[in-house]
Structure 1
Amino acid sequence: MDSSSYKLYHVHGFDSRQALDHYFSDKADMVFEEDSLKFPIENLTKTFTEGHIKGDVLIDLTAAPLIHHLLSACEFFRHIIVLKVQDRCILELKRWLDTRTGAFDWGHATKLHLEKENKSDQSQNKEGKVRSIVQHVMKCDVKKENMTDPIVLPPADCIIIGWLLDQISKDQDEYIRYLRKFSGMLKPGGHIILLGLLDVTYIKVGKDKIHSLKYDENFARKAVVEAGFVIDNCVTKKRTNVIDLTDYKAIIFIAAHKEK
């Protein structure tokens, strides 16, 4: 398949449950546990427990209906506002938040998180905490100046951007423009946490190949700095599996604060 025929996540969407099964589940054939579950959980837990990133409002801007990255964050913020570009992701996430029948089971991710905290017997409390602190799940349009128009969100203390920039950016210039736009949602001195895939061109969900922007660690660092941030921590991890669902070479985690 030529890359020009790849689908765009924010335009065409994808099957959100298949995305969870492929990349975040505990199914026997899910080979991404080290990269998509353990790596984010370990780095987020370490980052938040250091105590520098906390406050009233966290804005979550991640691709797919994910919650495992919020298991650490929920202890350090009073409110979490989740923004999604696709209705299917909102429906999937709300199914879990409302504990409806057929909701995706995040128990395996919660267990991994609690093992990092040495609290393996508190899974229901941890998931309940996430459910109670997620105040709003909202549709957003990344092309608009105010992505949640007509609603104006309060300035955030922190924004988590998980894999979204990879999939909505057609080129590196657009990646930086989006990053600057997201920066405008932060308070002065606020923090950004970025998760992305390095040297990737696509991810596959079902029969669809979804465009992903190819870039390396140097570009990611440069983009964060050009968007007005000071990098506090940057960690990369080489891919640990071989499967044709996606072609990324490594995963990156960046924590940074906005210059005042």
Structure 2
Amino acid sequence: MDSSPRKLYHVHGFDSRQVLDHYFSDKPEMVFAEDSLIFPIENLTKTFTEGHIKGDVMIDLSTGPLVHHLFSACEFFKHIIVLKVTDGCILELKRWLDTRTGAFDWGHATKLHLEKKDKSDQLQETEEKVRSAVQHDMKCDLEKENMTDPIVLPPADCIIIVRLLDQISKDQDDYTRYLRKFSKLLKPGGHLILIGCLDTTYYTVGKDKLHAFTYDEDFAGKVLVGEGFVIDNCKVKKRTAVSDLLDYKAMLFIAAHKEK
């Protein structure tokens, strides 16, 4: 058993481009497409097109320089505020937002999103909608009472969290504490979308093996309810990828709203 201490994403960071290549690219050796791309895109498209989750402001609190989870959201929110905990992720995301040379190509994920809507000819238009909707891509400090101090964010109609709680939480208390802090960004009655990996202990980026918090569907549900959320939809998908890069057993998707 590997007893060496594992790095923490929000403390030590990771190579942002390697994360994208390992877990979100269209490279032949990238085996996680069904779980890390198709599963969230399908559920996000269905959730947003139902029309219950919409408004002026969405806050994105996700790990890495991810974009694919915003393709559906950008059609239902005027402004998207992206918060990141590392400078590397901010720089990587800015490359794509500013269409700079060398930016990661999310075209394969855009196509997956458009296929769900039978609009496969609108790739460029869809990506431009995301770029226009993302008003701010800023660093946050998870340990500050106001994570974006001295900037005070407007209350959000929705927050979306993709894998971040998995990677910053050392234990159950940490998970609960961070979720409570994030939920304070919501308006009364606001919505939360949570995407995570269940029963994970580690994930690999390059030569580094990083910490992941181990939890199951029941734990996530109990924490949300304990923090005043009503769960509207919960989907679990068993792992299909064969790889030693990380050891999750299933993917989790939850849509919930905060009781007023």
TM-score interval for Structure 1 and Structure 2 normalised by the shorter chain: over 0.9
CA shift, 1:4, in A, is: 5.2
Q: Counterpart of 2:76? A: 76
The answer on 1:120 being equivalent to 2:120 is: yes
Aligned-pair identity in percent equals 79
Is the 1:63–1:84 contact (alpha carbons within 8 Å) kept by the matching residues of 2? yes
Q: Distance in 2 between matches of 1:91 and 1:206?
A: 19
1:120-199 matched pairs, under 5 angstroms: 120-199=120-199
What is the aligned residue count? 260
Q: 1:165 to 1:118 in 2, by over 3 A?
A: same
Say which SS state the counterpart of residue 189 (structure 1) adopts: strand
CA shift, 1:3, in A, is: 5.0
1:220-239 matched pairs, under 5 angstroms: 220-239=220-239
Is the 1:114–1:122 contact (alpha carbons within 8 Å) kept by the matching residues of 2? yes
> What is the RMSD computed on CA atoms of the aligned residues?
0.8
TM-score, normalised by the number of residues in structure 1:
0.99
Say which SS state the counterpart of residue 37 (structure 2) adopts: helix
Q: Counterpart of 2:109? A: 109
CA shift, 1:162, in A, is: 0.4
Say which SS state the counterpart of residue 114 (structure 1) adopts: helix
Q: Distance in 2 between matches of 1:241 and 1:119?
A: 28
Say which SS state the counterpart of residue 5 (structure 1) adopts: coil
Say which SS state the counterpart of residue 68 (structure 2) adopts: coil
Query: Could you report, residue by residue, the CA deviation over 1:207-259 in whole angstroms, capped at 9, with x for unpaired residues?
Result: 00110000011101111111110000000000001110000000100000001
CA shift, 1:2, in A, is: 3.3
The answer on 1:88 being equivalent to 2:99 is: no
Q: Counterpart of 1:27? A: 27
Q: Distance in 1 between matches of 2:16 and 2:71?
A: 20
Is the 1:176–1:226 contact (alpha carbons within 8 Å) kept by the matching residues of 2? no
Q: Distance in 2 between matches of 1:259 and 1:77?
A: 21
Q: Aligned partner of 1:251: which letter?
A: M
Q: Counterpart of 2:47? A: 47
Q: Counterpart of 1:10? A: 10
Q: Counterpart of 1:59? A: 59
Q: Aligned partner of 1:215: which letter?
A: Y
TM-score, normalised by the number of residues in structure 2:
0.99
Q: Counterpart of 1:213? A: 213
Is the 1:236–1:253 contact (alpha carbons within 8 Å) kept by the matching residues of 2? yes
Q: Distance in 2 between matches of 1:226 and 1:175?
A: 12
Is the 1:3–1:211 contact (alpha carbons within 8 Å) kept by the matching residues of 2? no
Q: Aligned partner of 2:24: which letter?
A: F
Q: Counterpart of 1:37? A: 37
Q: Distance in 1 between matches of 2:252 and 2:158?
A: 18
Unmatched tracts of structure 1, length 5 or more = none
Q: Distance in 1 between matches of 2:41 and 2:161?
A: 14
